[in-house]
Amino acid sequence: MTNPEIWQRVEEYRAQYQPHLNAEKVPLDLLTFVELELGLNIEPLDDLSRDFSADAALIGDFSGFYLDRAIYDRLDIASRSQLNRLRFSLAHELGHYVLHQERYQNSGVSDSESLKEWLNHHSGDKREIEQEANEFAGRLLVPIEVLSSLFEKLAQGLDAIYGPHGWQNWNDLREKTCEHLSQKFGLHTQGISTRLHREGLWPSIY
């Protein structure tokens, strides 16, 4: 799928689940959305983060998502960075649920073992669907209309201070901007940097 196709799926999904995924509700509370609105299971799993470098994973029968038990048991006292990482991981797995469930099922995936076997034998497809799930997660967590509005205000202020040319190439300024916006969306600064680049608002020069 192309990025514009993924963006369209995201916006259709957001519209389907209003007001729960309302763009003005960032940072999104995906745990509540998954459990209460979608009625899917959240199951803690030991050592998920250690073994798979992920805080969340799709359950193979599509009944819900695994969460790393160490994070799940400490949700009330988790740090901001831990919650931000979990939010993106869950959004990523939701991307698989929305974009790839039919593809998995048509390939005979019906449980966690068959899902693992499919992934082990389709490395090229795996890279493709991982990229698609990442793009789904990024656009879901950072609605374009909210990001565009915030960036337009920022750009007007920077234009007034530095003039309309030049500041776009200042990497330090870009990093500080991403740090500031990350608090709004509940996402790691790299995720904000990616959205600014992908949406064409502030392309990275690197």
Residue ranges per domain, the chain?
3-141, 144-198
Q: Is pTM, for the whole model, over 0.85?
A: yes
The token pair at 14 is 């957001």
Low-confidence stretches of the chain (pLDDT < 50) are none
CA distances from 55 to 61, 75, 84 (A): 19, 12, 11
**Residue corresponding to tokens 């750009």:** 155
Beta strands in the chain (DSSP E): 41-45, 56-58, 64-68
Residues whose CB falls within 8 Å of the CB of residue 192, separated by 6 or more in sequence, listed in order: 142, 178, 181, 182, 185
- Distance, in Å, from the CA atom of 118 to the CA atom of 72, rounded to the nearest integer, reads 27
pLDDT score for 194: 95
- Distance, in Å, from the CA atom of 64 to the CA atom of 22, rounded to the nearest integer, reads 22
> What is the CATH number that goes with domain 3-141?
1.10.10.2910
